Amino acid sequence: MIHVAAVQLEVIDEDSVKTAREEIGRKTEVLDVLINNEGVRGGIPYHTLEAGMDKFLETFDANVFGVASVAQGFMNY
């Protein structure tokens, strides 16, 4: 039997990651698969030659550090 549950969280918010981890822990003892589906484009329009460094940092923060934060938060599940 397959059981799937979706939990919404904000990857750049450590409390949100912790809360999601705890919520899943209340639902199951085993986490077989974690789909870490985060990604931001940095706003629209997002043109490389016109964007400020703040947009690059915002995008990098979510797409790299956010994904790593979720993976680390759930790794010892």
Residue 47 or 68, more confident: 68
Residue 15 has pLDDT above 90, yes or no: yes
Q: Give Cα separations from 9 to 17, 53, 64, 73 (angstroms).
A: 6, 25, 16, 12
Q: Global pTM?
A: 0.74
| CA-closest candidate to residue 62, choices 44, 35, 33, 37 | 37
The top-scoring range by mean pLDDT among 23-27, 35-39, 55-59 is 23-27
**Distance separating alpha carbons of residues 22 and 70, to the nearest angstrom:** 13
Q: Which residues contact 16 (CB under 8 A, 6 or more apart)?
A: 9, 10
pLDDT at 66 over 80: yes
- pLDDT at 77 (0 to 100): 62
Q: Hey, what are 5's tokens?
A: 């549950």
pLDDT number for residue 53? 86
